[in-house]
Amino acid sequence: MTTENSQANVRLLIVGPPGAGKGTQASVIASTYGIPAISTGDIFRQNIADGTELGKKVDAIVSSGGYVPDSLTNEIVADRLQQSDAAQGFLLDGYPRTAEQVAELDRILAASGHALDAVVQLTADRDEVVKRLLIRAEQQGRSDDTEDVIRHRQDVYTEQTAPVIAEYEKRGLVVSVDGLGTIDEVSDRVLSALAQRGLAASA
């Protein structure tokens, strides 16, 4: 039986194109379910800041302009998911990004007798997202964020995540939600869609 502020026993992923408000919704979902929002980018930065062995490896790779290999990303995620706050659930953001990482996450979860409950996919009209990001770029003085650059990022996202999303769709885990609208409107859609799958937040 759950109590107020207790963790929900739920394991989720969130995916969505740049500009769809993924980070904002990740925070809302994590807070609602009482689970940690785990971003691989944040993990990398935290390990580097803390000077851990993993952090040193990542720093050396990133500093030389390289990409962090699957093996190291898997190691870092596995380590993070073994921490006590993730024992009863989590929301992963930015992982898995490849078929190999999907398989590794399956292994990590199976080792503790668990599996994913759902994959939240924020969808958004491409032109609307581009318009939103161009306004943000202007407001924040990001002159490098041209329309061509923004559209390229959208293409890269689609290309990279399509195989991962397709795999989870085959498993019937994907919950697609329109990511356009106010923060509250999108949050309501996400939480309602998860509740309809029997993943209601703790009372």
Residue 1 in any domain: the answer is: no
Exposed/middle/buried for residue 178 (C-beta within 10 Å: 0-12, 13-18, 19+): middle
> Choosing from 57, 97, 131, 151, which is the catalytic residue?
97
Q: Report pLDDT digits (tens) over 114-149.
A: 999 999 999 999 999 999 899 989 999 888 889 999
How many separate domains does the chain show?
1
Does a structural domain hold residue 115?
yes
Q: How far apart are CA 58 and CA 137, in angstroms?
A: 29
Give the pLDDT confidence of 73-102 residue by residue, as tens digits. Answer: 898 899 899 999 999 899 999 899 888 999
Q: Please give the share of the chain, as a percent, with pLDDT higher than 90.
A: 57
Please state, in angstroms and as integers, the Cα–Cα distance from residue 45 to each residue in 39, 40, 51, 53, 59, following that order.
Answer: 10, 9, 10, 13, 9
- 203 occurs within a structural domain: no
Any idea what the CATH number is for the domain that residue 113 is in?
A: 3.40.50.300
Domain membership flag for residue 125: yes
In a domain, 75, yes or no: yes
Average pLDDT of every residue of the chain: 89
Mean pLDDT of 58-76: 85
Q: How far apart are CA 198 and CA 58, in angstroms?
A: 38
Is 136 known to be catalytic? yes
Query: Residue 27 falls within a domain, yes or no?
Result: yes
Tokens of 28: 């809302």
| In-domain check, residue 4 | no
Question: Domain residues for 29?
Answer: 10-196
Would 42 be classed as within a structural domain?
A: yes
Confirm whether 197 is a catalytic residue: no
Active site residue 131: no
- Global pTM reads 0.85
